[in-house]
Structure 1
Amino acid sequence: MSDQIVVAGALIDGAALLVAQRERPPELAGLWELPGGKVAAGESDEAALARELAEELGVDVTVGARLGADVALGPATFLRAYLVTQTGGTLHPNDHRALRWVTADELDCLAWVPADRAWVADLKLALGG
């Protein structure tokens, strides 16, 4: 069986990063994350991330460079982040409790989902912090 990849997008606008507050599952509800989702069989990371962000946020994106290292979520499941640029659409929390723009100075104080916390240092660098 092959690994399951979950992709997340770091949408940066100027000096701010978009973070999304989880609605579910209960153990993660209220925590903040980079939005994204699972890569389907035969789908590229980039296509999956563009699809997920269109579904979750209502935006079109261009997927850029990888951000940080893969984070293991389980024995054969890995979380992978990419920098993304919004190219269309209007942000709306279709699948999240809330959306918020944060600066590099706010990253350490955010109540992150545990897996995404691994990228805080990389996100600070991406934000020029």
Structure 2
Amino acid sequence: MSELIHVAAAAIFNESGELLLALRDKKQHQGGLWEFPGGKVEAGENVQGALARELSEELGIEIDLSATTSLIQVPYHYPDKSVLLDVFRVNRFCGEAYGREGQPLKWVNLTDLNNYQFPAANKPIVNALLLPSMIAITPELSLDSYTGFVRSALSQGAQAVMLRAKQLPELDQLKLYSLLLKEFPGQFLIWNGSVESANDAEISAIHLSSARLMQLQHRNAFEGRWLGASCHNEEQLRHAERVGVDYITLSPVQHTLSHPDASPLGWGQFADWVSDCALPAYALGGVASDDLERSINAGGQGIAAIRSFC
């Protein structure tokens, strides 16, 4: 395997909430595609120092490191080279960004991000920018209680809700999911179910159990936009990467009432697995909204929880 090239990159936001993209020169590796500004970490540099230097050299801006947070770390292997992308979210900077090396720049809305072509290694970055930081998962409820749970979870700060209702027949789950979509238009609602049924129902966001994940061989088997999966060990995590799901949950991070005999990963193991994973990863199991910052500091996308939103 070729030597790993360590790259510091930035998702830079202006005061209007727009994101800065740069167009790669056609003569470069992956030329003609859009990218997140940044560059190689030189020997002896720390990552944030390299990021500040590269953005000054490339864009003529000085970033505020106190308003710079880790977004995702992406190890990626191309046929001709391997890269480790250390990506940060930059929310404050001084100066007006311009292409000091002649590269075209563009400020874009996050909602338009899917309209741009990126190098393959950038797909997890795009997903990390578009995915929420907190997902509420429904517990087993009576059929008439799900609407109230979703409303309560959203009011408590959840930006997405996963319908997990395995006690119901699948047809009833799909009817309930359709009802929730109508009740909460524009909200990010995920169905925990099968690829085949999701495709038949034209569902755009699903989450697979670890068993269903291990049966999946290709990402394009699912026709919708968002495909997540549950992982409990490294074998499942690696399979999720090979298949190319959009995000994973790692669990249990801590002891849970629902699975009292399961050995928790702990935050140290969670951080270790996430650091070597090219997918946005949520901490799940014994976590609450108070653990959001801890998950992000460990390299996670955020948290997914059940009891925290009950």
Percent identity at matched positions?
32
The TM-score, its normalising length taken from structure 1, stands at: 0.83
Task: Find the aligned partners of 2:102 and 2:124 in 1 and give their Cα distance.
Answer: 21
1:124 to 127, 130, 133: 130
**TM-aligned CA deviation for residue 68 of structure 1:** 2.2
RMSD: 2.5
For 1:76 and 1:101, how far apart are their aligned partners in 2? Answer: 28
Contact 1:23 1:95 in 2 (8 A): no
Higher relative contact order, structure no. (Cα contacts within 8 Å, ≥ 6 residues apart): 1
What does residue range 68-83 of structure 1 map to in structure 2 within 5 Å?
A: 68-73=72-77, 77-83=83-89
Shift of 1:6: 0.5
Aligned to 1:8: 9
For the pair 1:88 / 2:80, whether they are aligned, the reply is no
- SS of the counterpart of 1:105? helix
Cα drift, residue 88 of structure 1: 1.5
Residue 12 of structure 1 and its aligned partner are, at CA, apart by 1.0
User: Which ranges of structure 1 fall in alignment gaps of 5 or more residues?
Assistant: none
Structure 1 position 44, deviation (Å): 0.6
TM superposition outliers: structure 1 runs of 4+ over 4 Å = 73-76
Pick the structure with greater CA Rg: 2
Structure with greater strand percent: 1
Question: SS of the residue aligned with 2:64?
Answer: strand
Amino acid of the structure 2 residue aligned with 1:93: G
TM-score (norm 2): 0.37
Q: Which residue of 2 aligns with 1:18?
A: 20
TM-superposed deviation, 1:97: 2.8
How far does residue 26 in structure 1 lie from its aligned partner after superposition?
4.5
- Identify which range, 6-15 or 21-30, moves more after superposition: 21-30
CA contact (8 A) 2:74 2:124 kept: no
Bigger share in helix: 2
Amino acid at match of 1:8: A
Letter in 2 for 1:65: T
Task: Tell me if structure 1 keeps the 8 A contact 2:74–2:121.
Answer: no
Q: What is the aligned length?
A: 127
Q: Specify the alignment match of 2:111 in structure 1.
A: 105
Displacement of 1:124: 1.8
Q: Deviation of residue 62 (structure 1)?
A: 2.1
> By how many angstroms is 1:112 displaced?
1.1
